[in-house]
């Protein structure tokens, strides 16, 4: 990378390249430069001459809490001349996420999602169905609140989760916001292996190194290519369709209205607690 990233950590150890979200104070939310730096790192590791695995993980107790509200548009009061201008503005906001997902879809290395802790919102939805291998710590759970905020399953997650766990289970997770624990995720085929939270990153490293010791790297990468190549167009279309649908939700104004309702509710609860002290 041309400049040292601030919101991620990129390391290469032998044939394993690792991208680690590094905003632990904000639970690795997608704020700051995290998305842009992640895209750059994925591109860099895609071209790395030695690596076979690209691992995506997080620093701290959370993998990711998803969108940073301050940059999500949920608290925006900006006015637009018409609905067309408004939609185009929101489509522009979603372009970094589009390119990040496109980079993962087209990534040549075996893409490993190492869930070091809980993931919610986009942190739960964007990567789990796209990854080639998913490893999780015992502290992991996934949960999304798209419907309660007037949003839709983001970045192709509706298709990816339905393909991985079945339509009915995916609907309960994406539509109703059901929280899924790590054992449930393993049972439903969303997670390959579960490791202890203590020393999780070391377990991930050993697991991948053990496979590199007995399996040819190029063969594993070719297996990934043969599996994913027929899926590429459908995955990209699912991402684009979901971005279009999400922009229309913002044109309707439903996410902003629901966000303000929840914000007022939380503020009133906080004020009530303060008044009782």
Is residue 162 in some structural domain? yes
CB atoms within 10 A of CB 182: 20
With a CB cutoff of 8 Å and minimum separation 6, the contacts of 183 are 194
Residue 223 falls inside a structural domain: no
| Residue 84 resides in a domain | yes
Task: Find tokens 């509710």 and name the residue.
Answer: 265
pLDDT at residue 263 in the model: 73
**pTM of the full structure:** 0.92
Helices (H), 47-188: 69-72, 83-93, 95-105, 122-125, 157-165, 167-174, 182-187
The pLDDT score that the predictor gives to residue 49 is 97
Instruction: State which residues form the domain around 92.
Output: 1-199
- 276 band by pLDDT with thresholds 50, 70 and 90: low
In a domain, residue 219? The reply is: no
- Does the pLDDT value for residue 59 go beyond 90? yes
pLDDT tens across 86-96, in order? 999 999 999 99
Q: Both tokens of residue 205?
A: 């490293």
Q: How many domains does the chain have?
A: 1
Tell me the mean pLDDT in the region 33-57: 97
Answer yes or no: is 155 within a domain.
yes
What local confidence, expressed as pLDDT, does residue 262 receive?
Answer: 74
Decide if 134 is inside a domain. yes
CATH code of 77's domain: 3.90.226.10
| 67-122 residue pLDDT tens | 876 555 566 678 999 999 999 999 999 999 999 999 999 999 999 999 999 999 99
């Amino acid at each position: 990378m041309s400049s040292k990233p601030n919101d991620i950590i990129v390391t290469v150890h032998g044939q394993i390249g690792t991208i680690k979200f590094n905003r632990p104070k904000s639970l690795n939310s997608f704020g700051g430069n995290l998305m842009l730096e992640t895209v750059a790192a994925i591109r860099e590791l895609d071209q790395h001459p030695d690596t076979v695995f690209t691992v995506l993980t997080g620093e701290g107790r959370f993998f990711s809490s998803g969108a940073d509200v301050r940059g999500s548009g949920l608290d925006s009061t900006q006015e637009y001349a018409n609905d067309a201008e408004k939609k185009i503005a929101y489509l522009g906001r979603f372009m970094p996420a589009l390119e990040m997902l496109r980079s993962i879809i087209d990534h040549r290395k075996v893409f490993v999602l190492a869930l070091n802790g809980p993931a919610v919102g986009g942190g739960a939805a964007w990567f789990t169905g796209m990854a080639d291998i998913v490893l999780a710590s015992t502290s992991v759970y996934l949960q999304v609140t798209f419907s309660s905020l007037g949003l839709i399953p983001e970045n192709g997650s509706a298709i990816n989760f339905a393909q991985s766990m079945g339509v009915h289970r995916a609907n309960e997770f994406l539509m109703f916001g059901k929280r899924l624990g790590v054992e449930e995720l393993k049972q439903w085929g969303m997670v390959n292996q579960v490791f202890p939270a203590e020393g999780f990153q070391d377990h991930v490293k050993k697991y991948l190194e053990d496979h590199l010791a007995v399996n040819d790297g190029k063969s594993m990468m070719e297996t990934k290519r043969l599996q994913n190549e027929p899926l590429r167009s459908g995955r990209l279309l699912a991402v684009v369709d979901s971005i279009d649908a999400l922009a229309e939700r913002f044109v309707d104004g439903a996410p902003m209205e629901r966000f303000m309702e929840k914000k007022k509710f939380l503020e009133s609860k906080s004020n009530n607690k303060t008044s009782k002290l």
